[in-house]
């Protein structure tokens, strides 16, 4: 199988896990859950196809998937209200569960590399996480004050 076929299979399998998590964890009915996940998968596949076009393949695939999702959800795009209505039934945590499981599995295969990094990775990780949290909090504080929410 080529790269796009492998990614499509992975997206479909992840989509099924998302639907199961959505139904069990958030009591969303199967039809709504599967339809929402299907729309998300189609948006992902369109973004994957765009990212393979000559000239556009210089940017990461996640960029093009995000752009496609943004364009499809714009109010001026035909059918955007339907897409938003269908996909908002898929809960965020139902989406993150298979992604985090895959991330854990992929890290497991690189455990020897992590052993070589030893303690040196701990301060770097702490600095990155602290910086991310602090700057997110600062930006949120600024925006909320600017909008008059606080």
Domain of 149, in residue numbers: 113-150
- In terms of domains, do 55 and 80 share one? yes
Q: Say which residue the tokens 């909008």 belong to.
A: 147
Reduced to 3 states, what is the DSSP secondary structure of residue 118? Answer: helix
- In terms of domains, do 105 and 132 share one? no
Going by the DSSP 8-state scheme, the letter that residue 76 receives in this structure is T
d(CA 81, CA 84): 5
Q: Are the beta carbons of 20 and 74 closer than 8 angstroms?
A: no
- In terms of domains, do 124 and 87 share one? no
Domain total in the chain = 2
- In terms of domains, do 13 and 65 share one? yes
The alpha-carbon radius of gyration of the chain (Å, integer) is: 19
- In terms of domains, do 37 and 90 share one? yes
Tell me what pLDDT residue 102 has. Answer: 79
- In terms of domains, do 44 and 60 share one? yes
- In terms of domains, do 55 and 122 share one? no
- List of long-range contacts for 64-69, beta carbons under 8 Å, 24+ apart: 68/43, 69/43
Tell me what pLDDT residue 29 has. Answer: 95
- In terms of domains, do 24 and 80 share one? yes
pLDDT mean over 135-146: 93
Please give the torsion angle defined by the CA atoms of residues 110, 112, 117 and 119, in that order, rounded to the nearest 10 degrees: 110
* Res 110 pLDDT > 90: no
- In terms of domains, do 29 and 98 share one? yes
- In terms of domains, do 137 and 99 share one? no
d(CA 69, CA 100): 21
- pLDDT tens-digit profile of 64-76? 999 999 999 999 9
- In terms of domains, do 94 and 26 share one? yes
Indicate the range of 8-12, 63-67, 69-73, 79-83 predicted with least confidence. Answer: 8-12
């Amino acid at each position: 199988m080529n790269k796009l076929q492998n990614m499509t299979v992975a997206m479909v399998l992840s989509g099924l896990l998302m639907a199961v998590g959505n139904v069990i964890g958030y009591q969303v009915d199967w039809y709504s859950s599967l339809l929402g996940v299907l729309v998300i998968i189609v948006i992902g596949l369109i973004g994957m196809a765009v990212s393979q076009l000559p000239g556009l393949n210089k940017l990461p695939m996640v960029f093009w998937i995000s752009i496609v999702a943004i364009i499809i959800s714009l109010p001026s795009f035909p059918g955007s209200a339907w897409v938003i209505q269908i996909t908002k039934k898929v809960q965020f945590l139902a989406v993150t569960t298979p992604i985090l499981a895959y991330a854990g599995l992929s890290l497991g295969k690189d455990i020897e590399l992590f052993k070589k990094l030893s303690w040196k990775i701990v301060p770097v990780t702490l600095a990155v996480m602290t910086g991310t949290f602090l700057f997110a909090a600062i930006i949120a504080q600024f925006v909320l004050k600017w909008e008059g929410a606080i």
